[in-house]
Chain A
């Protein structure tokens, strides 16, 4: 993928009329149908983000959440792509050549922003200091609101009452998120770009892109650009999905912890993203799931426990919906796929009429060490 063209082509704003039409369509759909519909529409991140904002303003939190999930999914995809590309030397060469030939407007803007960043970091104005101070207050207010909501959530959970409304509020960052967002957009950002806490907030709000500018990687927000230190040649995604995958890999030998962790990670590898990715062929998540399974984890954790795992998965859900059942089936199929792939790799063939226990026994007979481990 070409970063230059992708960044510009992805940021194609749809007209308000189109957005209103989509929101009207969503009004008639369930969350699952809405997810499919938005995916089908192949909207860019910016449009989806606008849809999310409008839905939240209209207090349609359920649909806002669906749009938010889509934005995060696309953002994650973009980060994976870009991280892969940044680490790919060949791609870098092509990118540099292309940059020489056709420097995009965005590159020029980025260079200008970087220039400003270099020259303007000193001597903040007094008005700017006041703005920052107001923003700190606003931020504290928001954190206090979220802390209060989290206390309410705990109470509601203890009392067994419905937590969904509180949780929706929390996931949208409380009621004053838009106010903070608007302050961040309009504030003089000279001070803010040296403040990790506000950068973090901006990352959450604006979903910046990573971009190579003049040999440096920059974190590009719509309003500011931040140079990343040269020392960090490969960016780590702030997305905890990435980090959690690493944690899972790190602790994969602890079967009990691993199994509990997996089962608890419905959001991570569970219903919505897995269902979405498996049905819509979101290859990045699929690839992660595949990598995660095909390496050590599948062989050590799932090879002998595939049936148990699926049973646990089913038992862990009450009142299964059709979508959840479909997801389980998809996961089951994915496990089967990896199982078959493994057997073909191991034995050179795969019997179409295979019986998993039969293959497991064959495997056990040929792998005494693993037998001991499984026991």
Chain B
């Protein structure tokens, strides 16, 4: 199952291989998690949003919650979309474009 953690590790590894500096894992994790929560919460009702934002620090909560709410296929699409955008964005920064 694709998770926020695997996305963060993928981005870290890609950029390391691309001959760039190492990115702080915690900082990157939070950025990815925020991005996931921003978009997941658009499709939730208020109670669900409250639960998401109050329990997001519990291990795997965001992943498990999103998976059960939207299904594995859709959640994977979302994570892949974020992963690819962030790689492109960061490589663009490295290449100064």
Which chain B residues lie closer than 8 Å to A147 at the CB level? 80, 84
CA distance A43 to B86 in the complex (A): 28
CA distance A139 to B76 in the complex (A): 12
Dominant secondary structure at the B interface: helix
Q: Known: A140-B77, A260-B21. Contact between A199 and B93, CB under 8 A?
A: no
Cα-based distance from A257 to B74 in the complex (angstroms): 35
CA distance A346 to B46 in the complex (A): 47
A65 to B88, CA, bound (A): 13
B77 touches A136 (CB 8 A): yes
Say whether A229 contacts B44, CB under 8 Å.
yes
Cβ contact within 8 Å between B21 and A229: no
Is A197 in contact with B84, judged by CB distance below 8 angstroms?
no
* Chain B window 39-63, contacts with chain A (Cβ cutoff 8 Å), 1 for yes, 0 for no: 1111111100110010000000000
Least CB distance from B8 to A in Å reads: 13
> Provided the pairs A153-B91, A267-B96 are in contact, do residues A201 and B43 lie with their beta carbons within 8 angstroms?
no
B55-84, CB < 8 A from A:
66, 70, 73-74, 77-78, 80-82, 84
CA distance in complex: A124, B32 (Å): 31
Residues of B within 8 A of A261 (CB): 24
Chain B interface residue count, CB cutoff 8 Å, equals 46
Say whether B43 contacts A199, CB under 8 Å: yes
Known: A157-B19, A247-B31. A231 touches B49 (CB 8 A): yes
In the bound assembly, the distance between CA atoms of A150 and B91 in angstroms comes to 10
Name A101-156 residues within 8 Å CB distance of B. Answer: 136, 139-140, 143, 146-147, 150, 153-154
Contact with B along A256-276 (1 / 0, CB 8 A): 010011001111101100000
CB <8 Å contact, A238 and B93: no
Q: Which of B20, B81, B94, B95 contacts A197 (CB 8 A)?
A: B81
Most buried by A among B53, B91, B93: B91
Indicate if the CB atoms of B35 and A238 lie closer than 8 Å.
Answer: yes
Determine the chain B residues whose CB is within 8 A of the CB of A171 once the complex forms.
88, 92, 97
Please give 5 more A-B residue pairs, beta carbons under 8 A apart, in addition to A243-B31, A251-B24: A143-B81, A154-B14, A171-B92, A247-B24, A270-B93
- Which 3 A-B pairs rank lowest in CB-CB distance, beginning with the nearest? A267-B93, A196-B39, A197-B78
